[in-house]
Amino acid sequence: PYETFGGGARPMIPRWSLVHDTIDTSGGRDSPVYNTNGIFDDARQHLTRRWNDPAGRALIERDIAWIVDHNGGANRVVVVDYPDRDFVGRTLAELASEMDMTYHEVVVHMALNGYRGLLGGARTRGYGMHDMDVVNYYRQEYTATASDAGVSGIDGVPGFASVPGAHPRHFGAFTRKIARYVKELNAISLPFAIRSMTGLPARIIGLQDRGLLRQGYKADIVIFDYDRIQDRATVLEPALYSEGVDYVMVNGVLTVDGGEFTDALPGEVVLRQGRPIS
């Protein structure tokens, strides 16, 4: 439920501009060739050479414009991690104005002066969708809710760390759907939202004894305060717990009690019923 895409914080620089001329980049930005070990070792050298050539600069600017536009435009691409912390939280358009550059030049500046070993030198996030895009998806009967996120965590918790530029959906997807699209925008009803998080996904993946409050079903239950429920995670602070979720029960065991983790780990691998393990 966000206007920013997933897939990690994205570089705004075209990948082909960072590799040697002998590399076949005709496969596009997702070509397997870019997974070759060491292919970006001399990225700054290759980018500088191309940028100083008028023809090369024109091609780089063309592709930066396409990437930035695809991610919402210079006014909606935000720097979320960069060595110079004054850049963080600013859009490309804001930086361009303050630095008396074009946004294309800002992108190249970050690539040449930012983190070594990180494509583009910076982590950026684009707001490439509009709230109404999300609303239109959410109003469909077939739309189920998912965080679509991997494992993330809070700094200081053993085995976990918050990653700079991580998507806030790790910590806020479900609470945001209620806080933003039910309470704030009144775009969908609360029962409709709850169904999309519980009974509908259970049906989609074939879980016959979960997703509903019904006798004989597994007790996977969340109790939240409707007035207090709120996501807190943002693109700049993605590892913030939500508020208003007071109790969580997994397989009949309390895992959150009064808003605090109980240390209980009753979760288990759940397989689609009637489908063999592959």
pLDDT tens for residues 4-58? 887 666 789 999 999 999 999 998 888 999 989 999 999 999 999 999 999 999 9
Instruction: Identify the domain boundary among 91, 110, 126.
Output: 126
If asked whether residues 114 and 156 sit together in one domain, one would say no
How many residues make up the chain in this entry?
278
If asked whether residues 210 and 251 sit together in one domain, one would say yes
What's residue 267's pLDDT? 94
Domain count across the chain: 2
26 domain residue, yes or no = yes
CA distance 189 to 227: 15
2 domain residue, yes or no = no
228 domain residue, yes or no = yes
What's residue 277's pLDDT? 38
Q: Mean pLDDT over all residues of the chain? A: 91
156 domain residue, yes or no = yes
If asked whether residues 117 and 29 sit together in one domain, one would say yes
113 domain residue, yes or no = yes
Q: Pick the residue with more confidence: 1 or 143?
A: 143
pLDDT tens string 247-272: 999 999 999 999 999 999 999 998 88
1 domain residue, yes or no = no
Two tokens, residue 110: 């970050």
If asked whether residues 135 and 251 sit together in one domain, one would say yes
Instruction: Identify the domain boundary among 70, 96, 126.
Output: 126
> DSSP string covering 91-134, please?
BHHHHHHHHTS-HHHHHHHHHHHS-TTSTTSSEEEE--S-HHHH
Q: Are 48 and 113 in contact (CB under 8 A)?
A: no
If asked whether residues 104 and 144 sit together in one domain, one would say no
Instruction: Identify the domain boundary among 73, 108, 126.
Output: 126
Residue 115: domain span: 15-126
What's residue 181's pLDDT? 97
If asked whether residues 138 and 254 sit together in one domain, one would say yes
If asked whether residues 121 and 184 sit together in one domain, one would say no
9 domain residue, yes or no = no
What residues contact residue 139 under an 8 Å CB cut-off, 6+ apart? 187, 188
If asked whether residues 248 and 152 sit together in one domain, one would say yes
Two tokens, residue 98: 């303050």
If asked whether residues 137 and 256 sit together in one domain, one would say yes
If asked whether residues 181 and 160 sit together in one domain, one would say yes
pLDDT tens string 89-120: 999 999 999 999 999 999 999 999 999 988 89
Q: Pick the residue with more confidence: 238 or 184?
A: 184
Q: Is the pLDDT of residue 278 over 50?
A: no
If asked whether residues 72 and 144 sit together in one domain, one would say no
Q: Is the pLDDT of residue 275 over 80?
A: no
If asked whether residues 90 and 172 sit together in one domain, one would say no
Q: What percent of the chain has pLDDT over 70?
A: 92
> DSSP string covering the chain, please?
--SS--SSSPP-S-GGGGS-TTS--TT-TT-GGGGSTTTTTTHHHHHHHHHTSHHHHHHHHHHHHHHHHHTT-TTSEEEEE-SSGGGTT-BHHHHHHHHTS-HHHHHHHHHHHS-TTSTTSSEEEE--S-HHHHHHHHTSTT------------TTSTT--PPTT--THHHHHHHHIIIIIIIIS--S-HHHHHHHHTHHHHHHTT-TTSSS--TTS---EEEE-TTT-B----SSS-----BSEEEEEETTEEEEETTEE---------PPTT----
272 domain residue, yes or no = no
What's residue 154's pLDDT? 67
pLDDT tens string 212-237: 999 999 999 999 999 999 999 998 88
